[in-house]
Structure 1
Amino acid sequence: MSTGNRTQQRNASSSEVHRQVEAATHSAAESIQEYGSHYVAEPAKDIFGLLSDYAKDRPDVMAVWSFGLGVVVGWKLRG
């Protein structure tokens, strides 16, 4: 095998790796943008959405937590 063929194969392999890296980088950038726009821009909606889902799954636990938070807030506001 001549050195010219090896150089061409190396260049082809290098360009393929470069293309794969660019594709992976682009995919990661899109995922980060989606994550940033959803979880950073609207954190209150996410928290209330998670709490409502949890309340649907475990209403008794949420009732106890709500009662406890109400007692603490009422106690602090009174005193």
Structure 2
Amino acid sequence: MLEFPKHKARDARQYSRNRWWLGLTLGDILDRTADVFPNKEALVDDRVRLTYYELRNKVDHLAMGLMNLGIEKGDTVLLQLPNWA
């Protein structure tokens, strides 16, 4: 398994002190935003437009698929996306 370097303790304290780190996961942030702004557009490109509500549903569906594959909390998952212009 790949190991990723941890942030230095000094840097972590600074990030927390400056509120750059809020102790929230991306999922937490998406859930909060979808609760407050369910009908606002979250993603827009030439092929699709998704509201925060729709995005949360797609993310939840992906999460269930990963769980069905045996991925568990704490596992490292790499997501590579193309560099579209």
Same fold per superposition (TM over 0.5): no
> Relative contact order (C-alpha < 8 Å, sep 6+): which is higher?
2
Q: Which has the higher strand share?
A: 2
Normalising by the residue count of structure 1, what TM-score does the alignment of the two structures yield?
Answer: 0.29
Q: Which has the higher helix share?
A: 1
